[in-house]
Structure 1
Amino acid sequence: MREIRCIVFEDGELIKAILAHGRRTGKALPPGQISSFEVERKPEVIARMTVTSDEGQKLIVPTAGAELAAAMIAYCIDRKVPVPANASKSIAVLDDHVALKITMTGEKAR
């Protein structure tokens, strides 16, 4: 038997998760303002932030794969949302939003 949980992120929450993860890992965004945010959903989920500097230069910062999952997991942990350490985790798209999919199998699913 398996248990599957999905934690669905609004775009604003996903941005906060990515920014906090960047600060934690020393990969903070370059100085400037986030001027746009988009999520490419196929074939892989990629979150792209466009940062516009004070001089008007634009830089696109993509986040995907394990780095995006780590940002989402840390965001959940920071907000006291339970994320079982030994569960399988992946990124999915549900109802046009990015979600953290948590799968527990066997005895762990009880």
Structure 2
Amino acid sequence: MKELRCLVFTDQEVIRAVLDRRRRVKDPLPVGTVSGVLYHKPEGREQEGIETRLTVTGDDGTVTELALSDTEVTAALVGYCMGRRIPLPVASDKMLHLINGALTLMITMNFNKAPRLVMAAGSAEGPAGPAADRLSPKRRIGR
């Protein structure tokens, strides 16, 4: 069984996420104002992902295009969500898709994976009884 979640982003959110990430990791940014964003899905190549192009207009009127990879934009959007305290599952597949012209982060969780086992604090030492479970770890050491 799988669960699918979709987060649809506006162009302004995508631009803000990419610029914030590039500033954070100290990647070079062209000087100017972002005047447009364009998404392109390469034809016939299903695995390639979405290419994002930012058009930056400089103060002197020069136009620069910044081509962004699928992985960079995905990382930027995940960081954008984390900064806004939007919960995202760590153990999931995250992919970009275009839905009605809007960039969408699709998150797929696979529930058929084996669950992670968490050992109880008293299970390694044997049965400790119900009273020991209520004590803090510092008080258990002294007993």
Give the CA deviation at 1:38.
1.6
How far the C-alpha of 1:81 sits from its partner, in A, is: 0.7
Q: Which has the bigger relative contact order, CA under 8 A and spacing at least 6?
A: 1
More strand by share: 1
Number of the residue aligned with 1:58: 63
Instruction: Choose 67-76 or 48-57, whichever is displaced more.
Output: 48-57
The reply to whether residue 31 of structure 1 matches residue 17 of structure 2 is no
In the alignment, the residues of structure 2 paired with residue 106 and residue 37 of structure 1 have an alpha-carbon distance, to the nearest angstrom, of 36
Q: TM-score, normalised by structure 2?
A: 0.69
Gaps of 5+ in 1: none
Give the RMSD, CA atoms, in angstroms. 1.6
| Runs of 4+ deviating beyond 2 Å | 41-44
Q: Is 1:67 aligned to residue 66 of structure 2? A: no
Distance 1:6 1:42 in 2: 21
1:8 aligns with 8
**In 2, distance between residues paired with 1:72 and 1:19?**
11
| Higher Cα radius of gyration | 2
Q: Is the 8 A contact 1:19 1:28 kept in 2?
A: no
Q: What is the CA distance between 1:65 and its match in structure 2?
A: 1.4
SS at match of 1:67: helix
Matches of 2:51 and 2:97, distance apart in 1? 11
Q: Which of the residues 80, 95, 104 maps onto 1:99? A: 104
Q: What is the letter of the counterpart of residue 74 of structure 2?
A: A
Q: How many residues get paired?
A: 108
Percent identity, aligned pairs only, is 34
Deviation at 1:59, TM superposition (A): 1.0
**Cα distance in 2 for residues equivalent to 1:33 and 1:61:** 12
Partner Cα distance (2:61, 2:41) in 1: 28
Cα displacement (A) at 1:28: 4.2
Question: Which segment drifts farther, 26-35 or 36-45?
Answer: 36-45
